[in-house]
């Protein structure tokens, strides 16, 4: 069942719906130029439009792939124009990803011909896939929330 669209107020990209986080704006992995902060009320679709299972290659290489059509339908239109315009085949931009534990990761987002890839997916102390012991077939849900991508590991 899909959750309805609702209004959420964002004051910045950190701490949205979270207590403390492992990643923070003071971590050396975070650069304020890489993050778009917002201080307003916006409407977001609280559903999870991209649902996938981790592949053996993603687990082995600690990388996360999203099919191009799904990314361009559900993520790209919600990204700030300044980031979206910089994405061309073979290009890379830095972006922030938050997981269901409220841990923020600075990642590199690459655009390839048929897919998008999140690489260098880490905080100072952990990586998203290997550190958590995720396995092939693990269900992952993805959405864009205002200024960052949110990823949820589904048990």
Phi-psi region of 75 (alpha: psi -120 to 50; beta: other; left: phi over 0): alpha
Provide the pLDDT for residue 18.
61
Question: What is the pTM for the complete model shown?
Answer: 0.69
Which of 35, 15, 41 has its CA nearest to residue 79? 35
Task: Examine the pLDDT at 112 and tell me if it is beyond 70.
Answer: yes
Please report the beta strands in the chain, taking only residues with DSSP state E, as ranges in sequence order: 5-10, 40-45, 50-53, 64-67, 92-99, 104-111, 115-122, 139-145, 148-154
* CATH number, residue 37: 2.40.330.10
Provide the pLDDT for residue 24.
38
Q: Give the β-pairing of 64-67 and 50-53.
A: unpaired
What is the rounded distance in angstroms from the CA atom of residue 19 to the CA atom of residue 131? Answer: 21
pLDDT in tens, 72-103: 999 988 888 777 777 787 788 888 899 999 99
Give the domain range for residue 132: 5-154
Query: What is the number of domains present in the chain?
Result: 1
> What are 151's two structure tokens?
């990823």
pLDDT in tens, 3-44: 444 333 333 334 445 643 344 333 444 444 444 444 333 444
Inter-residue contact 53 to 138 (CB < 8 Å): yes
What is the rounded distance in angstroms from the CA atom of residue 90 to the CA atom of residue 140? Answer: 25
What is the rounded distance in angstroms from the CA atom of residue 80 to the CA atom of residue 84? Answer: 6
**Residues forming a β-bridge with 90:** none
Residue 78 DSSP one-character state: G
Indicate the pLDDT class of residue 46, thresholds 50, 70 and 90: low
Provide the pLDDT for residue 4.
44
Which of 154, 69, 50 has its CA nearest to residue 116? 69
């Amino acid at each position: 069942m899909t959750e309805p669209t609702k209004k959420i107020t964002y004051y910045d990209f950190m701490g949205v719906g979270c207590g403390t986080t492992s990643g923070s704006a003071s971590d050396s992995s975070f650069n304020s130029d890489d993050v778009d902060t917002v201080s307003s009320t916006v409407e977001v679709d609280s559903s999870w439009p991209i649902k996938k299972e981790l592949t053996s290659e993603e687990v082995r290489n600690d990388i996360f792939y999203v099919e191009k059509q799904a990314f361009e339908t559900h993520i790209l239109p919600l990204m700030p124009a300044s980031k979206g315009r910089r994405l061309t085949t073979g290009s890379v931009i830095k972006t922030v990803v938050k997981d269901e534990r409220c841990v923020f990761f600075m990642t590199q987002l690459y655009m390839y011909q048929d897919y998008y890839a999140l690489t260098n997916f880490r905080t100072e102390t952990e990586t998203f896939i290997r550190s958590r012991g995720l396995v092939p077939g693990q269900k992952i849900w993805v959405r864009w929330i205002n200024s960052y991508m949110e990823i949820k590991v589904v048990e």
